[in-house]
Structure formats: C-alpha cells, structure tokens
Amino acid sequence: MQNKVSLITGFDTETARAIAVALAREGSKIAGCCGSSEKGQESLRAVEAAGGAGIVVAGDVSKSADAGSIVKATVDNLGRLDVLVNYGAARRIVGTVMDVTDEDFDEEMRVDLKGLISLSRAAIPAMIQGGGGAIVNLSSIAGSGVKGRALRSASKAAVNALTVAMALDNGEKNIRVNAVLVGPTLTAQIRQRPEQLKQLEADAVLGRLHTPEDVGSAVLFFASDDAKNITGVLLPLDAGRSLPTY
C-alpha cells in the first residue's frame, strides 16, 4: 500500500477506524469521510498513532455534489485516489415488510446503496487517472436473507449484486471491485451485552466473533496488490455463521 491513497466512509465508526489503521500501517495515506470533521478526529488520531497520515473530509456521500467534493478534496490534499472503501453504516432497522415505513426504506437505501453508487461514480474517474484502483464494499451475510431484517436483507443483496456488476463494468479500466460480507462483529457495543455475545458466539461454527481488526485485514487484502487478480468476489467474514448446518 506504499504511496497509495485510500478513501474510507463511515470514518467515525469503530470498524472503519480499524480499516483505516490497517491500511495506514501498510503505507497508505487515508482520507476519512463522515458526517462532520469533528466526529472523524478520533479515527484520524488512531491513524496517526499507527504511523500513518491523512485527512478528514465531511459530507453526505448519498448526495452527488458532496461525493464529488469528497473525492476532489482527497485528490487535492493527498495527490491521488487508489482505494475506495464503501462502508454503509446504516442503523439496524428491525422488522418484516409489514413493519417498516417508507421513511425506513428511504434511509436504508440512501445509506447502504445510494451512497455507494454516488461515491463510486465520483471516485472511478480519479482512479482511472492514476492507472486503476480497488473498490471494497462492506456488505453483510444478511444479503442472503435474514428473518426479521427485511430491509437489511434487501439492501445488502443489492450491494452484493452491484459489486459483481461494478467488477464486470470496470475491469477494463484496471479497477477491481470486491465485497466483504460481514457477520456480527465484536465491537465495544456487543462486549457490553454478555448474554447476546454468548448467543452470537454459539451460533458461529468457530465459536467466536471476528473483530473490527479482522475486517480491516480482509479489506487490506482486497485493497492490496496481493489481490491484483481478484475481482467480483463476495467474501463472507462471519466465523462460519452463515454455513449450512444440514
């Protein structure tokens, strides 16, 4: 990742912070994007503590004008754009199609899908100028369908299909597109719920949950030249949780 620049959304979250640190440790400069520059400062400090450097860029990636400004700020300040990590950190909307509201639908699709499209559309021309790049979409094992999570199932299924379509559409431009399908992650929030944690671990084949740092390692692989011939891959990261049990 030496001399590369990575743009990461959802920069104010624990998982995006771990991704940024993983990339920074391997030499990438980081542009972290979130709703406000103040919210991203903790993650920027973590990047700097890991020996990296970067900036925080504020904006709403679901708005085309903001997406364009975010990419422009990245290139203007850091010189280029090689890696885009689309982390759609939508709130967990629970319910069947009978429960969710129109507002729920609009919010889920805006964060998970529209933002991914808007920012990718702005980033791809900048990647082409640099000779190519890598896009890593953070999706979920919910994309195969989960009981009581109708909207999340639908939005992540769309992200998965879009990942493959983008890989097909951009390969000739030397842009690879892959996705990490994340299961329940051992965040600080989950650690504070021991009973839920115990059940989540019991449901995983390996008997444990992955950490935000594990997500960072998976994203790092897809972003790096180690994966230079890998595109259109949907990689489950869930300690075997989604494996069939029959």
> What are the CA-CA distances from residue 59 to residues 65, 66, 179, 223 (Å)?
9, 5, 23, 23
In a domain, 214, yes or no: yes
Task: Determine the angle formed by the axes of helices 150-170 and 102-109, rounding to 10 degrees.
Answer: 30
Residue 90 has pLDDT above 70, yes or no: no
- What pLDDT was estimated at residue 246? 74
Range of the structural domain that residue 167 is part of: 5-237
CATH number reported for the structural domain that contains residue 155 in this entry: 3.40.50.720
In a domain, 245, yes or no: no
Nearest to 31, CA basis, from 51, 11, 1: 11
In a domain, 242, yes or no: no
198-202 mean pLDDT: 94
Residue 91 has pLDDT above 70, yes or no: no
Q: Structural domain tally of the chain? A: 1
In a domain, 163, yes or no: yes
The structure's pTM equals: 0.95
- What pLDDT was estimated at residue 82? 98
202-214 mean pLDDT: 95
In a domain, 92, yes or no: yes
> What are the CA-CA distances from residue 133 to residues 20, 32, 76, 79, 224 (Å)?
17, 17, 17, 14, 9
In a domain, 104, yes or no: yes
Residue 43 has pLDDT above 90, yes or no: yes
- What pLDDT was estimated at residue 93? 79
**Angstrom distance (rounded) from CA 25 to CA 48:** 10
At residue 181, the 3 state secondary structure works out as strand
- What pLDDT was estimated at residue 88? 76
* C-beta of residue 222 within 8 angstroms of C-beta of residue 188: no
> What are the CA-CA distances from residue 196 to residues 6, 152, 153, 202, 208 (Å)?
34, 20, 21, 10, 12
177-190 mean pLDDT: 94
Residue 201 has pLDDT above 70, yes or no: yes
Residue ranges with strand state E in 96-207 = 133-140, 175-182
In a domain, 244, yes or no: no
- What pLDDT was estimated at residue 204? 94
In a domain, 246, yes or no: no
